[in-house]
Amino acid sequence: MTTPASSPLLAALDELRAAVSSCAFPLDLPAAHEARRTQQSLADQLKDYILPRLNRLDAPLLVVVGGSTGAGKSTLVNSLVGRRVSQPGVLRPTTRSPVLVLHPEDRAWFAGNRVLPGLARTTGDGPAGVSLRLVTDETVPVGLALLDAPDVDSVVTENREMADQLLAAADLWLFVTSAARYADAVPWGFLRMAVERTVAVAMVLDRVAPQAVDEISAHLREMLTEQGLGQAPLFVVPEVPLDDDGLIPLTTVMPLRIWLGNLAADSAARAAVVRQTLEGAIAHLIGRTPFLVSAHAEQLEAIGRLRADVDRIYRAAGAQVTEGTADGSLLRGEVLARWQEFVGTGELLRSLERRIGWLRDRLAATLRGRPAPERELSEAVETGLEAMLRAAAESAAEQTSAAWRQTPAGTDLLDKDGAGLELVSPDFRDSASRAIRDWQGYVMQLVREEGSDKRSVARVLAYGVNGVGVTLMIVVFASTAGVTGAEFGVAGGTAIVGQKLLEAIFGDAAVRSLAARARKDLDARVETLLGSELRRYLGLLDALGVDPDVPDRLSAATHAAAGLR
């Protein structure tokens, strides 16, 4: 009964293993804790049991001896072998390696990494706490290995976890309970799990006073039947004095020893045990993956919400800047003062409302031959624009942090890796000024190119490239401020002076096109600038490594494996 290594079920389960391990639950959401544990236990069971077992159905049976502390597991294993291979009694539990006893002929099956690949193998009494100690003995039947597992109710967490992991790797549980402890809750929790997963189980009622054997074994049988384990073989081992080596007399353990020997010798019986446990394990695996799918989806959903917060807030910030740089808001304070100084406007602006036609000549006359303070205007533009950008970026950072803090996941992320994210990035000032100066450079370049035309070159030269460029900026800043409408306020009125000047130089159509290009370039630079601000948040989300393809992949792998079962 070998399965070719390339069997479709094996391939499907291998894909399922990959899908299970690509799940991620980094955010502490409601299902995360349970999901991490489930992921670990399914991954363990696949690599420790299902895959190696399916790969080699003919490998020896792994019989794991489990049960609560002091039930007599180690003494029983020693007595079955006829010598002390595993330390009985309570020792320092953390320094103890579980013992696997097997026939020398079967050594190769267990010495490598075929089963329980995460556990190193030792042969001596090494101090290693997490290794499997292999002991060979001729009395163990070929085709069956006995593993003395740590106590399922150990006070040491690592030992309990090790017991879980070893039982999950077993073909057969040899579950030992004692007269004193057979009603305890913890072992029954394990037994119920075995029933749920249809693990093959044989029970040992150990350490029963000979006169109580009938009564207690009858009661235990009743409990087993109630719990759905009525079919499990039950071996009763009366508590008799141990021999000098601490072993139970051979006759007392003989029935169990014979049963194990027969099982090992009967390949059909062994195959039935393997099939029962393997099918149960696969069914359990397939039954649990939907929980991982939904827990992973829960992570994706939370990340999606956090991402949506970032997108929404920064998109609004971008829109706010776009609007603020077009509606005349920038044309106040220092910028307005410098602009008025630049065009020498007191009188100009007052006359503007009356006689626009007259303006062109008048303006040209005002500017000609007079040192234009365009450098100060240009600096005022830079300062005003930077303040606007900073205000938008500051408010976006503040709002995003606040929005994230409304969810536990966002709070968790900010607390762990989000130091300083509620402020603009430290180099914002530098990148903002660079963006603004680059834009100003671009605007100058536009003017220079447009002004290279024969007819306008003289006029551009007359006003100076810088003066014309900065005028174009003013026009851009008022592009939605009613320049052409009747209701212009200070901003609109201010800009219209510039508009007329540019039209006088380049003509109407060219001014429209210049303003549109300058605006487009400004918007793009603002988007880039805010983009690098928002990427700080998105970077945190990306670093979580929650792959959006996993739910589909896991569902598909589960479906495929279920279909091949």
Ligand X SMILES: Nc1nc2c(ncn2[C@@H]2O[C@H](COP(=O)(O)OP(=O)(O)O)[C@@H](O)[C@H]2O)c(=O)[nH]1
Contact footprint for ligand X (CB under 6 A): 67, 69-75, 88-89, 151, 207, 239, 241-242, 246, 248
> Would you give the distance in Å from CA 229 to the centre of its chain?
40
**Which of Mg ion, ligand X, none sits in contact with 553, Cβ below 5 to 8 A by type?**
none
**Which of ligand X, Mg ion, none sits in contact with 492, Cβ below 5 to 8 A by type?**
none
Nearer to Mg ion, 76 or 286 (CB): 76
For the CB of residue 263, give the shortest distance to Mg ion in the complex, in Å: 23
For the CB of residue 48, give the shortest distance to ligand X in the complex, in Å: 22
**Which of ligand X, Mg ion, none sits in contact with 133, Cβ below 5 to 8 A by type?**
none
Nearer to ligand X, 88 or 410 (CB): 88
d(CA 417, CA 27): 12
Indicate the helix (H) or strand (E) that contains 366.
helix 356-367
d(CA 392, CA 384): 13
> Would you give the distance in Å from CA 276 to the centre of its chain?
35
Nearer to Mg ion, 159 or 325 (CB): 159
Instruction: Indicate the SS3 state at residue 235.
Output: strand
d(CA 133, CA 139): 17
**Which of ligand X, Mg ion, none sits in contact with 106, Cβ below 5 to 8 A by type?**
none
For tokens 């100060």, the residue is 376
For the CB of residue 149, give the shortest distance to ligand X in the complex, in Å: 9
For the CB of residue 235, give the shortest distance to ligand X in the complex, in Å: 12
Nearer to ligand X, 259 or 442 (CB): 259
Nearer to ligand X, 65 or 317 (CB): 65
Instruction: Indicate the SS3 state at residue 463.
Output: helix
Nearer to ligand X, 186 or 387 (CB): 186
Sequential DSSP letters for 473-538: HHHHHTTTS-SSSS---HHHHHHHHHHHHHHHHH-HHHHHHHHHHHHHHHHHHHHHHHHHHHHHHH
**Which of Mg ion, ligand X, none sits in contact with 374, Cβ below 5 to 8 A by type?**
none
Nearer to ligand X, 242 or 300 (CB): 242
For the CB of residue 69, give the shortest distance to Mg ion in the complex, in Å: 8
Nearer to ligand X, 164 or 239 (CB): 239
Nearer to Mg ion, 150 or 492 (CB): 150
CB 173 within 8 A of CB 277: no
**What letter would DSSP give residue 60?**
P
Instruction: Indicate the SS3 state at residue 565.
Output: coil
Nearer to ligand X, 89 or 357 (CB): 89
Tokens in use for 115?
């089963």
| Paired residues of 561 in beta bridges | none
For the CB of residue 269, give the shortest distance to ligand X in the complex, in Å: 27
Indicate the helix (H) or strand (E) that contains 187.
helix 185-196
Which residues fall within 8 angstroms of residue 422, CB to CB, at 6 or more apart?
397, 398, 401, 402, 414
First-residue to last-residue Cα distance in the chain: 16
**Which of Mg ion, ligand X, none sits in contact with 71, Cβ below 5 to 8 A by type?**
ligand X
CB 515 within 8 A of CB 469: no
For the CB of residue 89, give the shortest distance to ligand X in the complex, in Å: 4
Which residues fall within 8 angstroms of residue 564, CB to CB, at 6 or more apart?
8, 9, 12
d(CA 120, CA 116): 9
For tokens 């069956």, the residue is 144
For the CB of residue 129, give the shortest distance to Mg ion in the complex, in Å: 15
For the CB of residue 237, give the shortest distance to ligand X in the complex, in Å: 6
Nearer to ligand X, 27 or 77 (CB): 77
**Which of ligand X, Mg ion, none sits in contact with 464, Cβ below 5 to 8 A by type?**
none
Instruction: Indicate the SS3 state at residue 141.
Output: coil
**Which of ligand X, Mg ion, none sits in contact with 261, Cβ below 5 to 8 A by type?**
none
From the list 303, 276, 409, 288, the residue with the least C-alpha distance to 40 is 288
For the CB of residue 248, give the shortest distance to ligand X in the complex, in Å: 5
Residues that bind Mg ion (CB under 5 A): 73-74
For the CB of residue 141, give the shortest distance to ligand X in the complex, in Å: 21
d(CA 17, CA 46): 7
